Structure 1
C-alpha cells in the first residue's frame, strides 16, 4: 500500500524514480551480506560433513543469492569467488574424494546464469520504477498541490492508494477561488485505471473554469454534468470499454469568500457564520463536525455525474451555515466501504463521535484527516481495497496577507 499526502510548501517530494536498496540496516546497504554468508558457510559445512557427503557444489547458491539482492558487477564478483572457493575447497581433499570437473562446471554455469538473471531483474526494476514515476506524475498533475491559504479556507487532504504498482483511481478534489466565491469539489470516478484518471481530469478541468466564471453553483453543476455526458459519448463513439462510466461528487460553494484583487484574503469581519451551498451528485454526504456533535448534512438526492438523464432535474443546491468552530469532512467511498477482516464497514460517524467524546484535542483540518486516516488503516489492518481520499475544510482562522504582485 502506498500513501500520498500533499507536501507542505518548501519541502520536496521524494523522487519516485529513486533506486530502492533491497537490504539496508541503519541506512547502510548490506545487500552484499547474504551471499557472503553462503560463501563462507558452504566450505565449513563441506568440511564438517566429511568425505561421505560433499556439499562444496552448493557454492552455486552464492551467485544465485547475489543475483536476487545485488547488482550485476557484485553478482559477477561473487560468481568468481564461488569458483575460487570451490577450487580451493575441493583440492583440499584427497583425489578419490574430490567432486572434480562436473561440479566445477555446475558452479561456473550457475555463476553465468546468475549474472544474466541479475541483469534481467534490474531491467525489470527499472521498467517498474519508470511506470511508477508515470503514475506518480499523473496523480500530481491531476491532484495539484493546493496553497494553505487558498480562497479564505483552511484545508487538508490525504490520498491513500489501494495499489502501489500500476492501478490508479479516479478520486479527485480541488479548491477554486473566484469573484463569485470559493468553490470546492471532491469526487470519485467509477472504475480504475487510466480511463478513470482521464475522466477525473476532464471533470477537474471543467470545474476549474466553470467555478471561476459562473456566478451560480447550479450552473457549475450543469457544466460538470454536461462535460461528463460528452466524455461518455466520446468514449462510446470510439468504441472504448468505459463508455458507461459515471462519477459521484460533492460541490461546495462559499459565496461570501469572493476573491478580490487585493493583498489580503477575503474580509470576514463581522461574520459569525459562513453560507455554504452544497450540490450532491450521488456522493457520500459531508460530515459537519463541531466541538459538540458529529452529523451528516441533509442533502437533496442527486444522481452521479453522467446519469442526469435518468431523472427530471430540479433545484440542486442546499444551503447551510458553517460556524467558525465547525469543520466539513468529505470522503470518498474508500473510507465508508473500508472493511475489516470480518467484512464490517468502517463506522466513520461513530468513530468520530467516540473520538470527540474522548476529548480530541483539535478539529482543525490537518488533525481531522490524520485522525480518519489512522482509523481507516487500523480498521482494515493497513490493506485498502479502493483508493481513498479524505478532505477537510473550514473557515480560515484569520485573513492571510498575500505578497503584493509585481507591477506589470
Structure 2
C-alpha cells in the first residue's frame, strides 16, 4: 500500500514535531529556551537601570513547556528563578525589580511545568489512540503482499478524519480455487459503526470469495451479511441498523484471461486504463448492499473485457465528489486520460494510484470531505498460470 500523504491538520502531530526538534537523532528542544534565557539575562545586564527586562525571563519556562518534557521544563523554571535572582541582585537596590517580579517568575515556572505535564499526558494519549486506530485500520484493511492473487495492485486510503485514520471505505483481494476476487466498497455513514460494518463485509468476502464457485453467490453472501449485521444493530438498540454499502465485486478467472466478472452494488463504475485509452465500465444500476429487498434482486454478474496489462481503477466517492474552491468536482476521467496520453506508463497501478491521489488532494486543497480510497489492479502483461492459495 502506498503511504498516506500528510494533509492539513497533521502539523499538530507530536511525533512530527519531535522529529523537527532533532538533529542527527539528538533532541535540540532545549536550545530555544536556553537561548532566550541567556539573551534576556545579557540584555538586562547591558541596559540602563530605568529599563529592566529581567522579568521577561518568565517566558523561558513557558517556551520550554511547549517543546520540552516535564523535567526539562522544570529545569528551565528553576534556571529562570536562579538567573532572575542573580541578575536582579547584582543591580543597586534602587534599580532592583524586587519581590513582586520574583514571585511572578516563580509562579510562571510552576504553572509552565504543570501545563507541560498536561500537554505531555495529552500527547501520550493521542499517540496511544492513534496506535489503536492504526491497529484497527490494519485489521480491516490488511496489507496486501506484492503480486497477491496473481495481480499487480496498489492502493491508498485517506481518512477524512485526520485523527481517527479509519472510516467506512474497504477493499481487499482474495485468491482462491475459482480465481481471484476483488472487492471495493463504501459503507454509508461514518464513525466506528461504519468501520464495524466494513469489517463484517470484508470477513464475509474473504471466506465466500475463496469457497464459492460463482461470483453471484459471493454477492448474495455479502447481501445476507449486511442484513444480519443490520438486524444485530437493531436488536442491541443501536441507531445504525439502516446502514448500507455501495461496492464493486470483481472476479478474475484463469479460464478467461481477457475478461472479468463484475457485480456493481450501486457504486461508481470502475475505469479501465490501458494501451487503448481510458474507458468506463457499465454503470452500477444495482442497489447497494443491504437494500436488495427494495428492488428486483441482486445486481447481475456482467462479463466485460479486460486484457492483460489493462488496469482496473476503482475509487470511492471521496475522489469523484472532491470539490475545488469553486465547487467543481474532480475530473477523474479527464485527468487520467491526459496523464495516459502524456505517458503510457501512467497505467501502471502504483503510478496511477499516485496520480489520482495527488490530483485529488490538489483539487480539494487537502480538505477531503469524505474518506477516500483509490485501488488499482491488473493482470500482469505476461500471464502466468498459477493457482493461489487463500489468505
- TM-score, normalised relative to structure 2: 0.90
Q: 1:300 to 1:127 in 2, by over 3 A?
A: closer
Is the contact made by 2:158 and 2:373 (CA closer than 8 Å) also made in structure 1?
yes
- Give deviations 1:284-328, integer Å, cap 9, x for gaps: 110011223211101450111111121111651111111123111
Q: Counterparts of 1:128-143 in structure 2 under 5 Å?
A: 128-143=126-141
Match of 2:21 in 1: 24
Select the residue among 241, 244, 247 that pairs with 1:246.
244
Q: CA deviation at 1:26?
A: 4.6
Q: Is 1:313 the equivalent of 2:306?
A: no
Q: Distance in 1 between matches of 2:204 and 2:260?
A: 21
SS of residue paired to 2:184: strand
Aligned residue for 1:4? 4
Contact 1:153 1:395 in 2 (8 A): yes
Aligned to 1:287: 271
How many equivalent pairs are there?
380
Counterparts of 1:44 and 1:163, CA distance in 2: 47
Secondary structure at the aligned position of 2:258 is classed as strand
Q: CA 1:314 to 1:175, structure 2 compared with 1: closer, same or farther past 3 Å?
A: closer
Residue 70 (str. 1) matches residue 68 (str. 2):
yes
Q: Distance in 2 between matches of 1:78 and 1:22?
A: 21
Report the CA distance between 1:21 and its aligned residue. 1.0
Residues 67 and 114 in structure 1, CA contact (< 8 A), matched pair in contact too = yes
Query: For residues 17 and 113 of structure 1, do their structure 2 counterparts lie closer, same or farther at Cα, with a shift above 3 Å needed?
Result: closer
Name the structure 2 match of 1:266.
none
* CA spacing shift, 1:23–1:395, aligned 2, 3 Å: closer
The one-character-per-residue Cα deviations of 1:47-99 (angstroms, maximum 9, x if unpaired) are 45533333211111111110110011111111111111101221122101211
* TM-score (norm: length of structure 1): 0.87
Q: Can you list the C-alpha shifts for 1:365-397, whole angstroms capped at 9, x where unaligned?
A: 111111111211221222322221111111124
Residue by residue, what CA displacement relative to the aligned partner does 1:142-187 show, whole Å, maximum 9, x if unpaired? 1111121222211111112223313621111111111122111001
- Inter-partner Cα distance in structure 2 for 1:185 and 1:17: 35
How far apart, in 2, do the equivalents of 1:38 and 1:99 lie?
Answer: 20
Partner of 1:210: 208
Equivalent residue number for residue 322 of structure 1: 306
SS of alignment partner, residue 323 of structure 1:
coil
Q: Which has the higher helix share?
A: 2
1:73-88 equivalences under 5 Å are 73-88=71-86
Q: CA–CA distance in 1 between the matches of 2:188 and 2:102? A: 59
Q: Which runs of 5+ in 2 are unaligned?
A: 6-12
Aligned to 1:262: none
Q: What SS is found at the alignment partner of 1:285? A: coil
Match of 2:10 in 1: none
Structure 2 counterpart of 1:233:
231
Deviation track 1:210-239 (CA, whole Å, cap 9, x = no partner) reads: 111111111111110111111112112211
| Partner in structure 2 of residue 222 of structure 1 | 220
SS at match of 2:376: strand
Name which of 339, 354, 363 aligns with 1:355: 339
- Residues 18 and 95 of structure 1: is their aligned pair in 2 closer, same or farther, counting only changes over 3 Å? closer
Judged with a 3 Å threshold, the aligned counterparts in structure 2 of structure 1 residues 23 and 289 are, in CA distance, closer, same or farther, namely: closer
Change (3 A) 1:19 1:354: closer
Q: Residue 339 of structure 1 aligns with which residue?
A: 323
- Mapped to 2, the partners of 1:86 and 1:26 lie a distance apart of 30
Q: CA shift at 1:132, angstroms?
A: 0.1
- State the partner residue of 1:386: 370
Tell me whether 37-46 or 184-193 shows the greater mean CA deviation.
37-46
3-state secondary structure, aligned to 1:392: strand
Over the aligned positions, Cα root-mean-square deviation in angstroms equals 2.5
Q: Residues of 2 paired with 1:376 and 1:26: CA distance?
A: 34
Hey, what does 1:118 align to over in structure 2?
Answer: 116
C-alpha deviations, 1:320-373, integer Å up to 9, x for none?
111123111001111111112222111000001111222343422111111111
Task: Specify whether residues 315 and 106 from structure 1 end up closer, same or farther in structure 2 by C-alpha distance, changes over 3 A only.
Answer: closer
Provide the residue aligned with 1:261 in structure 2: none
Partner of 2:8: none
Greater alpha carbon shift after TM alignment, 195-204 vs 26-35: 26-35
Taking the aligned partners of 1:398 and 1:243, their CA distance within structure 2 comes to: 46
Q: Residue deviations 1:234-256, cap 9 Å, x none?
A: 11221112122111110001232
